[in-house]
Every structure is written in structure tokens, then in C-alpha cells.
């Protein structure tokens, strides 16, 4: 599950970077204010929540997947999740094992523990390129439980549409409803 989230995040960033105009600051804070769609996936054990918001949060679509069954989340609950988005995200300390910056690009990676041990471990990755950002947090508790979050900012219409369309665990009906909610 976590590997699939990582791959989805990297694919979405690559798509977004292809359409990026100019080189904006690569500072990690740029991701929080990037214009465009914001794409979030929260995963814990057998549950995933997809939360997609349009620029300015005018349109919102959310879905839940539990045991491979997907359903659209009601608008009130989706708004509540949007308001709590930062609380669902557990930022890691700023002691980066990797910190690379170049014009319009930054990459920060840190982690602790060993996911092959009984204690588990955690990892945090921030990538910012051309005004688009991806943050990934993953926690493995060492007992086949844990959680992960992928947060993508600055996505354009096509990237948001592709993100929903490529979500394997969402049913065709849920994907259609989400796309309609966002006007895509």
C-alpha cells in the first residue's frame, strides 16, 4: 500500500513538473502556498482517504476506500477533513538526512528506524520543483500497521483529473462523482 502511494506521488509530481512554468523558489514553504489543485491521500492499515481541492478550495471531492470498497465522502465531512488536513499530517523534525537545493528545486529526506525491525520506522520526503510540491510521510509501527500521507500541491486540471482516474482502488462510479464535484 505505502509503495503504491509513493509511486503515485512521484508520478503526479513528474506530470506537474512537465507543465511547470518558470522556476519558483524551491523552499519547502512554497508547497503550502502553491496555486492549483491540492491532492491528498491518507492511508492507515486497510483504509485510504482521497481529498482533492481546487484552487482556493472552491470545489472539493473526497472518497474513502475500506477493504477495497470505495465511496464518496459527504460534502460536510469532506469540508471537515479539509479543515483538519494539517492535523492529519505529522511533520518530521528538521534534521534532514538529505537536503539538496538548486534553482527552483529542493529535496529533503529524513527518517528513522528500520522498517524490517519490530520497532518499525518513519520517513518524511519533501520535493518542490517549479512551484509544485510533494510531501510524503510514512510510519511503520513494525506490526503490519502504520500510516502514510501524500500531499501534492500546485497540480493543474489535467494532473488532478489523472490523479483521480489512476486511483486503482476507487470504483468507476466514485471517480466520476469526484471529477464532477471538481468540475473536471
Q: What is the pLDDT along the chain (184 residues), one digit of tens a residue?
A: 444 444 444 444 444 444 444 333 333 343 444 578 999 898 887 888 999 988 877 888 999 999 889 999 998 888 887 777 656 555 555 555 777 888 888 888 777 765 555 666 777 788 888 778 888 887 776 666 677 888 888 999 999 999 999 999 999 999 999 999 999 8
How far is the C-alpha of 2 from the C-alpha of 79, rounded, in Å? 25
d(C-alpha 98, C-alpha 107), whole Å: 7
In contact, 59 and 182? CB cutoff 8 Å: yes
Distances (CA, A) of 174 to 25, 37, 94, 150: 36, 19, 38, 20
The dihedral formed by the CA atoms of 150, 156, 160 and 161, expressed in degrees to the nearest 10: -160
User: 86 is written with which cell numbers?
Assistant: 494539517
Q: What is the model's pLDDT at position 90? A: 53
* pTM (predicted TM-score): 0.72
Amino acid at each position: 500500500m505505502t509503495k503504491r502511494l509513493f509511486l503515485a506521488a512521484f508520478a503526479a509530481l513528474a506530470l506537474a513538473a512537465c507543465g511547470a512554468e518558470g522556476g519558483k523558489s524551491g523552499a519547502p514553504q512554497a508547497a503550502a502556498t502553491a496555486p492549483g489543485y491540492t491532492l491528498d491521500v491518507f492511508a492507515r492499515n486497510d483504509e485510504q482517504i482521497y481529498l482533492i481541492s481546487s484552487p482556493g478550495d472552491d470545489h472539493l471531492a473526497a472518497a474513502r476506500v475500506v477493504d477495497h470498497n470505495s465511496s464518496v465522502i459527504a460534502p460536510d465531512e469532506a469540508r471537515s477533513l479539509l479543515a483538519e488536513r494539517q492535523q492529519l499530517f505529522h511533520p518530521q523534525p528538521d534534521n534532514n538526512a538529505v537536503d539538496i537545493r538548486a534553482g527552483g528545486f529542493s529535496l529533503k529526506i529524513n527518517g528513522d528506524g528500520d522498517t524490517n525491525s519490530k520497532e518499525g520506522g518513519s520517513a518524511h520526503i519533501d520535493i518542490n520543483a517549479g512551484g509544485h510540491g510533494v510531501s510524503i510521510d510514512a510510519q511503520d509501527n513494525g506490526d503490519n500497521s502504520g500510516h502514510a500521507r501524500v500531499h501534492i500541491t500546485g497540480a493543474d486540471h489535467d494532473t488532478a483529473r489523472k490523479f483521480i482516474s489512476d486511483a486503482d482502488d476507487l470504483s468507476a462510479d466514485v471517480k466520476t462523482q469526484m471529477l464532477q464535484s471538481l468540475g473536471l
